[in-house]
Structure 1
Amino acid sequence: MTDSLIVSVPDARLANAVGDVPAGVEIVEWDFQSDPPRERIDLIVPPYMGGSSRLGRVGEVENRLVQSQSIGYDGVEELLPAGITFANASTVHETATAELTLALTLAAQRGLADFVRNAETGTWKSRMHPGLADRRVMILGYGGVGRAIEDRLLPFEVSVVRVASKPRSDDRGHIYGVEDLPELLPDVDIVIVVTPLTPATTGLVGEDVLSALPDGALVVNVARGPVADTDALVRHATEGRIRLALDVTDPEPLPADHPLWSLPNVLISPHVGGASGAMLPRMAALVRRQIDHLLADEEPENIVLRT
């Protein structure tokens, strides 16, 4: 057992949300822009936005765990000094990301963007949209976020096709491997992309994947922008063959003059998958659990890297 612990959080907002901590635990603020407040910080929580570029600063203090506020950790290993244990924010963002995924999918499938544009001109114009019921939906990248998305899709009476890096089975049945994509894609109406960004997934949603989809298919990307080939997205959307709902883009932010903005079959949100009121209390709860683990000399949750 450990009887003392120093924890840094980037701001008072998270410190207040963490609330009361056990005796012997000290919460300090460190936003990575100032010098470290202590020579030893057992648990470091970096800033949520813009913190990745300054992650090297964790090497300035003795520490036991760096707790990210993001699920994704692509590129982090190259930024961390040696000897760091790094955990991601699994359990924090899955629900909010699934909410936005469903919102984007429904908005695209029911033509909400068209209605908003018509409202700007006072135009009453109705037409049939494909909807979500009875559609065949592929979840490309089946982890915690993918399962949360599936939980919310199933009540809409859809057929779900699950694809992961490798085939496997779980309590809901078979999960296909990426090698099965050529056979699966021609029969799906919607592809929801939620894979982590790795060398293997960079550009995964490119010409081959898009060409294999049927006309009118919807691609929803809530993963990372570089998982998709932007040029291929623009080409297929411009031709009117594929519709897009994107929470992430490459580049990001998307320049104001980028052609994706002007396409009527493209819906874009500015990378806000985890940005909801659920984040702060869930992040605080994760920090409190990590504090308990460290006090008990237990293995922390969600460790994804040891440098």
Structure 2
Amino acid sequence: MSRHPRVAFTMNREDHASAFPAPLLVELSAFTEIITPEPLTELSSAQARAVLAETEILITGWGAPRIDAATIGMAPRLRAIVHAAGTVRPILDPAVYDLGIRVSSCASANAVPVAEFALASVVFGLKRASRFVAQLRDTKGVRDVRGMPPIGANRVVIGVIGASRVGREMLRMLRTLDAEVLLCDPYVSPAQAAELGVTLVDLHELCRRSDAVSVHAPLTDQTVGMIGAQELSLMRDGAVLVNTARGALVDTAALTAELVSGRLDAYLDVVHPEPLPADSPLYTLPNVVITPHIAGALGNEVVRLGELAVAETARFAADGTFEHEVRSVDLAIIA
């Protein structure tokens, strides 16, 4: 690799502009040669092929085309991919690793706003904010706590499913609450759970004991529908389900039945299918808040991804290492 490695971008233009404002591109150009400041939005044109032929570090992001062996074949000098977004799974063919390409992800930067959103959802959910909003709309000013589930986040039990990057950031943020925190994750040992300051339990115990459950597991063949009718039935009356991970982790039909009955509350940033059918009752229930997949970095949060991508590129240019490397063995278990 040259002393100043040649860098190119592939992602959608809007996120590129948000993640890499001019001052950050100036910082990046201090230790790299940016082949073109404009991101490649496709990799098949003659122009894209010409850029790839010179690229040593490829910075990807949301909207990037899938990177596979054919892509690497067009980039003989490529040594590393830095993903300025969350998970690399949608864009990265595992065959890339067989060709010796190193990969880094900025998922840890994206984890911050997701965990902030999840924490806010837990607090709002336990405060019964959506129920009070609906009540206020109907009564035009009357607040009545009669018939409400238990209100507040003081001395409650909060269950976190998945010690992913977002899950761990959520665990850190939960320390601000006066709450007992349970964790379900098959890849975490009791000793590691102790270091995280949480109690390790299985999924059913977590569902039984928690006043609020926050989902942060990856979506894999093994986790699809992991929260189904049985798990939901174990949750105590008035429990709050928060999902900022993937909609397919939860059985939508089973959850809908529980929410229509009014037994549970839910704050859902992801659903399955996404979006839900227009006639879904979840859009109008007073005990449900649905947001359109906004927990991850948006607006002024996106620049965090660019900053971390530049830091990772600087590290790789200096000594060939990454702080946030994604290995081939990680693909099966990461979000």
Coarse TM-score class (shorter-chain normalised): 0.7 to 0.9
Indicate yes or no: 2:111 matched with 1:111. Answer: no
Q: TM-score, normalised by structure 1?
A: 0.86
Query: 2:41: which partner in 1?
Result: 32
- Measure the CA separation in 2 of the matches of 1:145 and 1:297: 28
Q: Residues 75-126 of structure 1: CA distance to partner in whole angstroms, max 9, x if unpaired?
A: 5455865634433223311221111112222222223223444555661121
User: Among residues 227, 231, 234, which one is paired with 2:253 in the alignment?
Assistant: 231
Query: 1:100: which partner in 2?
Result: 117
Query: 2:82: which partner in 1?
Result: 67
- Measure the CA separation in 1 of the matches of 2:187 and 2:199: 8
Q: CA deviation at 1:263?
A: 2.3
Amino acid at match of 1:7: V
Q: Per the alignment, do residues 24 and 248 of structure 1 end up closer, same or farther by CA in structure 2, a change over 3 Å counting?
A: closer
Query: 2:200: which partner in 1?
Result: 176
| Higher-strand-fraction structure | 1
More deviation, 192-201/88-97: 88-97
SS state of the match for residue 81, structure 2?
strand
Q: CA deviation at 1:278?
A: 5.2
Indicate yes or no: 2:26 matched with 1:19. Answer: yes
- Measure the CA separation in 2 of the matches of 1:155 and 1:290: 30
- Measure the CA separation in 1 of the matches of 2:288 and 2:95: 37
Q: Per the alignment, do residues 226 and 284 of structure 1 end up closer, same or farther by CA in structure 2, a change over 3 Å counting?
A: same
User: Among residues 157, 160, 165, which one is paired with 1:144 in the alignment?
Assistant: 165
- Measure the CA separation in 2 of the matches of 1:117 and 1:89: 38
Query: 2:3: which partner in 1?
Result: 3
SS state of the match for residue 72, structure 1?
coil
Task: Give ranges in structure 2 of 5+ residues lacking alignment.
Answer: none
Amino acid at match of 2:311: R
Q: CA deviation at 1:216?
A: 1.4
What is the Cα-based RMSD across aligned positions, in Å?
A: 2.7
SS state of the match for residue 19, structure 1?
helix
Query: 1:286: which partner in 2?
Result: 308
| Conserved 8 A contact 1:194-1:223 | yes
Amino acid at match of 1:176: L
Amino acid at match of 2:30: P
- Measure the CA separation in 2 of the matches of 1:286 and 1:160: 29
User: Among residues 249, 253, 271, which one is paired with 2:275 in the alignment?
Assistant: 253
Amino acid at match of 2:262: G
Q: Residues 27-75 of structure 1: CA distance to partner in whole angstroms, max 9, x if unpaired?
A: 5222323631511322222342x33x64458434332222223333445
SS state of the match for residue 156, structure 1?
coil
| Conserved 8 A contact 1:67-1:88 | yes
Query: 2:55: which partner in 1?
Result: 41
Q: Residues 164-215 of structure 1: CA distance to partner in whole angstroms, max 9, x if unpaired?
A: 12341232445525xx222332121111001111222211111221111112
- Measure the CA separation in 1 of the matches of 2:211 and 2:266: 12
Q: CA deviation at 1:229?
A: 1.3
Q: Per the alignment, do residues 158 and 174 of structure 1 end up closer, same or farther by CA in structure 2, a change over 3 Å counting?
A: closer
Q: TM-score, normalised by structure 2?
A: 0.79
- Measure the CA separation in 2 of the matches of 1:115 and 1:208: 29
| Higher-helix-fraction structure | 2
Q: CA deviation at 1:296?
A: 2.2
Q: Residues 216-271 of structure 1: CA distance to partner in whole angstroms, max 9, x if unpaired?
A: 11110111111111111112212222211111111113333333213221111111
Query: 2:231: which partner in 1?
Result: 209
Amino acid at match of 1:93: N
Amino acid at match of 2:216: V
Q: Per the alignment, do residues 193 and 102 of structure 1 end up closer, same or farther by CA in structure 2, a change over 3 Å counting?
A: same
Q: Per the alignment, do residues 31 and 230 of structure 1 end up closer, same or farther by CA in structure 2, a change over 3 Å counting?
A: farther
Amino acid at match of 2:34: E
Query: 2:212: which partner in 1?
Result: 190
SS state of the match for residue 174, structure 2?
helix
- Measure the CA separation in 2 of the matches of 1:24 and 1:73: 23
Q: CA deviation at 1:162?
A: 1.7
- Measure the CA separation in 2 of the matches of 1:27 and 1:105: 45
Query: 1:264: which partner in 2?
Result: 286
| Conserved 8 A contact 2:210-2:239 | yes
Task: Give ranges in structure 1 of 5+ residues lacking alignment.
Answer: none
User: Among residues 87, 103, 108, which one is paired with 2:104 in the alignment?
Assistant: 87
